[in-house]
Protein backbone atom coordinates (compact mmCIF):
# COMPACT_ATOMS: atom_id res chain seq x y z
CA UNK A 1 0.00 0.00 0.00
CA UNK A 2 1.11 3.53 -0.67
CA UNK A 3 2.38 5.01 2.57
CA UNK A 4 1.46 8.67 2.44
CA UNK A 5 0.48 8.76 6.13
CA UNK A 6 4.00 8.43 7.53
CA UNK A 7 5.44 11.97 7.36
CA UNK A 8 8.47 12.30 5.10
CA UNK A 9 10.06 15.05 7.15
CA UNK A 10 9.59 13.75 10.69
CA UNK A 11 11.42 11.16 12.78
CA UNK A 12 10.85 10.38 16.49
CA UNK A 13 12.93 13.35 17.67
CA UNK A 14 13.70 15.42 14.58
CA UNK A 15 12.16 17.36 11.75
CA UNK A 16 13.56 18.37 8.36
CA UNK A 17 12.57 21.86 7.33
CA UNK A 18 13.49 24.86 5.21
CA UNK A 19 15.96 27.59 6.10
CA UNK A 20 14.88 30.22 8.63
CA UNK A 21 16.67 33.29 7.27
CA UNK A 22 16.16 35.19 10.52
CA UNK A 23 17.30 32.70 13.13
CA UNK A 24 19.56 30.15 11.42
CA UNK A 25 22.53 32.31 10.32
CA UNK A 26 23.62 33.05 13.87
CA UNK A 27 23.58 29.36 14.87
CA UNK A 28 25.37 28.16 11.75
CA UNK A 29 27.93 30.93 12.20
CA UNK A 30 28.75 29.38 15.61
CA UNK A 31 29.28 25.95 14.01
CA UNK A 32 31.72 27.41 11.51
CA UNK A 33 33.94 28.61 14.37
CA UNK A 34 34.55 24.95 15.23
CA UNK A 35 37.34 23.85 12.88
CA UNK A 36 36.79 20.18 13.66
CA UNK A 37 33.20 20.40 12.39
CA UNK A 38 34.30 22.27 9.27
CA UNK A 39 36.92 19.65 8.48
CA UNK A 40 34.44 16.83 8.89
CA UNK A 41 31.75 18.22 6.60
CA UNK A 42 33.82 19.76 3.82
CA UNK A 43 37.09 19.36 1.95
CA UNK A 44 37.40 23.08 1.25
CA UNK A 45 39.53 24.98 3.79
CA UNK A 46 37.85 25.52 7.16
CA UNK A 47 37.22 29.17 7.98
CA UNK A 48 35.01 30.96 10.51
CA UNK A 49 32.02 32.73 9.00
CA UNK A 50 29.98 35.64 10.30
CA UNK A 51 26.19 35.36 10.42
CA UNK A 52 26.12 37.90 7.59
CA UNK A 53 28.21 35.61 5.35
CA UNK A 54 26.08 32.58 6.27
CA UNK A 55 22.96 34.58 5.36
CA UNK A 56 24.48 35.45 2.01
CA UNK A 57 25.27 31.75 1.44
CA UNK A 58 21.66 30.78 2.17
CA UNK A 59 20.51 33.26 -0.47
CA UNK A 60 23.00 31.88 -2.96
CA UNK A 61 21.91 28.35 -2.13
CA UNK A 62 18.23 29.11 -2.69
CA UNK A 63 19.02 30.81 -5.98
CA UNK A 64 21.01 27.75 -7.04
CA UNK A 65 18.10 25.45 -6.09
CA UNK A 66 15.75 27.59 -8.17
CA UNK A 67 18.03 27.71 -11.21
CA UNK A 68 19.65 24.27 -11.36
CA UNK A 69 16.87 21.98 -10.09
CA UNK A 70 19.43 19.42 -8.98
CA UNK A 71 19.63 20.16 -5.27
CA UNK A 72 17.41 19.64 -2.20
CA UNK A 73 18.49 21.22 1.05
CA UNK A 74 17.13 20.72 4.59
CA UNK A 75 17.69 22.14 8.03
CA UNK A 76 17.52 19.56 10.82
CA UNK A 77 15.63 20.65 13.97
CA UNK A 78 14.56 18.98 17.19
CA UNK A 79 10.80 18.43 17.45
CA UNK A 80 10.77 19.11 21.21
CA UNK A 81 12.12 22.67 21.15
CA UNK A 82 12.46 23.48 17.45
CA UNK A 83 16.21 23.94 17.86
CA UNK A 84 18.48 23.91 14.77
CA UNK A 85 21.01 21.07 15.14
CA UNK A 86 22.27 20.35 11.64
CA UNK A 87 21.74 20.33 7.90
CA UNK A 88 21.38 17.81 5.13
CA UNK A 89 21.21 17.85 1.34
CA UNK A 90 20.76 15.74 -1.75
CA UNK A 91 22.98 17.35 -4.37
CA UNK A 92 24.50 16.95 -7.84
CA UNK A 93 21.38 15.08 -8.93
CA UNK A 94 21.71 13.56 -12.40
CA UNK A 95 18.07 13.05 -13.29
CA UNK A 96 18.75 11.05 -16.45
CA UNK A 97 20.81 8.50 -14.49
CA UNK A 98 18.86 8.59 -11.21
CA UNK A 99 22.05 9.30 -9.30
CA UNK A 100 22.91 11.89 -6.62
CA UNK A 101 25.26 12.67 -3.71
CA UNK A 102 24.24 13.26 -0.11
CA UNK A 103 25.57 15.52 2.63
CA UNK A 104 24.74 15.57 6.28
CA UNK A 105 26.16 17.38 9.31
CA UNK A 106 25.29 17.76 12.99
CA UNK A 107 26.54 21.21 13.97
CA UNK A 108 27.63 21.23 17.59
CA UNK A 109 29.59 18.59 19.48
CA UNK A 110 26.92 18.24 22.22
CA UNK A 111 24.40 17.06 19.65
CA UNK A 112 26.62 14.34 18.23
CA UNK A 113 26.53 10.69 19.34
CA UNK A 114 22.85 10.95 20.27
CA UNK A 115 21.39 9.11 17.31
CA UNK A 116 20.40 12.34 15.56
CA UNK A 117 22.58 11.51 12.56
CA UNK A 118 20.84 8.14 12.24
CA UNK A 119 17.36 9.68 12.36
CA UNK A 120 18.28 12.45 9.91
CA UNK A 121 19.93 10.08 7.44
CA UNK A 122 16.92 7.76 7.64
CA UNK A 123 14.65 10.63 6.55
CA UNK A 124 17.08 11.79 3.88
CA UNK A 125 17.29 8.30 2.33
CA UNK A 126 13.52 7.87 2.27
CA UNK A 127 13.21 11.29 0.61
CA UNK A 128 15.86 10.39 -2.01
CA UNK A 129 14.55 6.90 -2.84
CA UNK A 130 10.79 7.15 -2.22
CA UNK A 131 10.12 10.77 -3.15
CA UNK A 132 12.79 11.74 -5.70
CA UNK A 133 12.76 8.12 -6.96
CA UNK A 134 16.52 8.04 -7.32
CA UNK A 135 18.19 4.74 -8.19
CA UNK A 136 21.35 5.24 -6.16
CA UNK A 137 23.03 7.63 -3.74
CA UNK A 138 26.72 8.35 -3.21
CA UNK A 139 28.61 9.96 -0.34
CA UNK A 140 32.19 11.25 -0.32
CA UNK A 141 34.02 10.84 3.00
CA UNK A 142 37.64 11.42 4.06
CA UNK A 143 39.26 8.39 5.71
CA UNK A 144 39.54 10.28 9.04
CA UNK A 145 35.77 10.83 9.41
CA UNK A 146 35.10 7.60 11.30
CA UNK A 147 31.71 8.74 12.58
CA UNK A 148 30.38 9.28 9.07
CA UNK A 149 31.81 5.97 7.83
CA UNK A 150 30.13 4.05 10.68
CA UNK A 151 26.82 5.82 10.01
CA UNK A 152 26.89 5.05 6.28
CA UNK A 153 27.78 1.41 6.90
CA UNK A 154 24.90 1.11 9.37
CA UNK A 155 22.55 1.99 6.51
CA UNK A 156 24.11 -0.56 4.18
CA UNK A 157 26.36 1.75 2.13
CA UNK A 158 29.29 0.01 0.41
CA UNK A 159 32.72 1.59 0.10
CA UNK A 160 33.15 1.58 -3.66
CA UNK A 161 36.12 3.82 -4.38
CA UNK A 162 39.30 4.75 -2.54
CA UNK A 163 40.80 7.90 -4.08
CA UNK A 164 44.31 7.45 -2.75
CA UNK A 165 45.86 10.48 -1.03
CA UNK A 166 43.40 12.88 -2.65
CA UNK A 167 43.16 15.19 0.33
CA UNK A 168 45.76 17.29 2.13
CA UNK A 169 45.27 18.17 5.80
CA UNK A 170 47.57 18.58 8.80
CA UNK A 171 50.55 18.49 6.46
CA UNK A 172 49.84 14.96 5.25
CA UNK A 173 47.76 13.28 2.62
CA UNK A 174 44.59 11.26 3.23
CA UNK A 175 42.45 8.91 1.18
CA UNK A 176 38.99 10.01 0.11
CA UNK A 177 36.31 7.29 -0.01
CA UNK A 178 33.20 7.15 -2.16
CA UNK A 179 30.31 5.16 -0.66
CA UNK A 180 27.23 4.03 -2.57
CA UNK A 181 23.77 2.68 -1.78
CA UNK A 182 21.28 1.35 -4.33
CA UNK A 183 17.53 1.72 -3.88
CA UNK A 184 17.08 -2.07 -3.58
CA UNK A 185 19.67 -2.20 -0.81
CA UNK A 186 17.94 0.63 1.04
CA UNK A 187 14.58 -1.14 0.83
CA UNK A 188 16.04 -4.22 2.54
CA UNK A 189 17.49 -2.27 5.48
CA UNK A 190 14.43 0.03 5.71
CA UNK A 191 12.00 -2.91 6.12
CA UNK A 192 14.25 -4.56 8.71
CA UNK A 193 14.25 -1.53 11.03
Q: Which residues bind other proteins (CB under 8 A)?
A: 43-45, 94, 96-99, 135-136, 138, 158-168, 173, 178, 180, 182
For the bound state, the minimum distance from the C-beta of residue 130 to other proteins, rounded and expressed in Å, comes to: 18
Closest CB 45 distance from other proteins, rounded Å: 6
Q: Of 33 and 47, which CB lies nearer to other proteins in the complex structure?
A: 47
Specify whether the CB–CB gap between 186 and 179 falls below 8 A.
no
For other proteins, which is the closer residue by CB, 46 or 51? 46
Q: Report the C-alpha gap between 88 and 15 in whole angstroms.
A: 11
- Helical H segments across the chain, by residue range: 24-32, 35-41, 51-68, 116-126, 146-154, 183-192
Q: First CA to last CA across the chain, in angstroms?
A: 18
Q: Which is nearer to other proteins, 78 or 99 (CB)?
A: 99
In whole angstroms, the minimum distance from the beta carbon of 178 to other proteins comes to: 6
Give the shortest CB-164-to-other proteins separation in angstroms: 6
**Whose Cβ is closer to other proteins: residue 14's or residue 93's?**
93
The three-class DSSP label of residue 18 is coil
CB 125 within 8 A of CB 104: no
Amino acid sequence: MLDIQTPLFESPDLRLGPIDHEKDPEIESKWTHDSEFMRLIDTSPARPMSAAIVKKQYEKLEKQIEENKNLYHFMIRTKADDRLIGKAAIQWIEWSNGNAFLRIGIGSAEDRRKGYGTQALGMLLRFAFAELNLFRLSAIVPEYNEGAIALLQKFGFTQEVCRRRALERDARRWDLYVFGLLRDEWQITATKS
